[in-house]
Amino acid sequence: MKHLIWISVVLLALAGCGSEQQAATPSQTPVAEEQPADVTTDVDEATQDAATDEALEVVEESAAEAEPEDVAIVLAHADITDTPRTWKFSEGQHYDRLVPTQPTVGGAGKIEVAELFMYGCPHCYALEPRINAWMETANPDLRFVRIPASFNLLAQLHAKLYYTEEVLGRNGVLDDPARFHATVFREFHDRGNQLTSEASIQRLFQRFGVSEDEFNRTWNSFEVDQKLRVAGDLVRRYNITAVPTIVVNGKYRVSASTGADLFEIVDELTVREGLR
């Protein structure tokens, strides 16, 4: 009996705790839901910033112009619309190609046209007026040079004459180098003065105002000797067996005996070089 009374008291106590908790719950604010005022502000500002950033991103994307769907992507490519150039002259018939390409007298900044010649060659003498006429109308970006060929002892002497003439003219000692050059041809072919000795050559220079000392100093100079060595090397490299011959940029060799117009071929070859 006592046990039954004790159990009843316990059950009544438990029933009372439960009802008080249930009654108090609606009227009380849970502590977990309360936040400090500054934390709430930070959350609101962070939410606002995130919304602003999202809005800005949307504006940037919508501001970009949509690319038309039917426009194809074009890659960079060579212009293939130009009609291939047709050349008038052909290798093996009008000119020969030097393989490999050989050195030139000057630097690589300009296309070089070199005339291989000898003062004693009548064909070189006959070609002189045509060379002078061509030079007057040639592209100023070209560089024209003369290279004396030394096929025999007299030609070697005349090659030294030519480079003495070139150095004295460049230094302003020789008056009118072009007229002197033409005079050497006339002396040999028209007047019978073949200039077979150093003394006869010195007298010719003297007629153009060059003193004996100036002549001897240049004639025996290292510079003239060096030019002679370069000329001899280029004659071998270009495989020159006859003159007059034109070599374009150390690459193309054109004989004056070609059946076509020599300078028309030269002009076409310089155009080819300019297109490289």
CATH number at residue 268: 3.40.30.10
Please indicate, yes or no, if residue 267 is contained in any of the structural domains.
yes
Q: What count of other Cβ atoms lies within 10 Å of the Cβ of residue 162?
A: 21
Query: Which phi-psi region, left, alpha or beta, contains residue 176 (left: φ > 0; alpha: ψ -120 to 50)?
Result: left
- The arithmetic mean of pLDDT across residues 10-34, rounded, is 42
Residue 264 has pLDDT above 80, yes or no: yes
Judge whether 222 lies within some domain: yes
Q: Distance between CA 63 and CA 1 in Å, rounded?
A: 89
Q: Is residue 51 included in any domain, yes or no? A: no
- 217 token code pair: 């100093």
Number of structural domains in the chain: 1
31 falls within a domain: no
Please report whether residue 35 resides in a domain: no
Confirm whether 243 is domain-assigned.
Answer: yes
Dihedral angle computed from the Cα positions of residues 150, 269, 165 and 188, in that order, rounded to the nearest 10 degrees:
60
Which range, of 16-20, 135-139, 251-255, averages the lowest pLDDT?
16-20
pLDDT over 90 for what percent of the chain?
Answer: 64
pLDDT of residue 145: 97
- In this prediction, residue 103 carries a pLDDT of 96
Residue 174 lies in domain: 96-274
Q: Please tell me the distance from the alpha carbon of residue 229 to that of residue 226, in angstroms, as a whole number.
A: 5
Within a domain: 10: no
In this predicted structure, the answer to whether residue 79 has a pLDDT above a threshold of 90 is no
Number of Cβ atoms within 10 Å of the Cβ of 261: 13
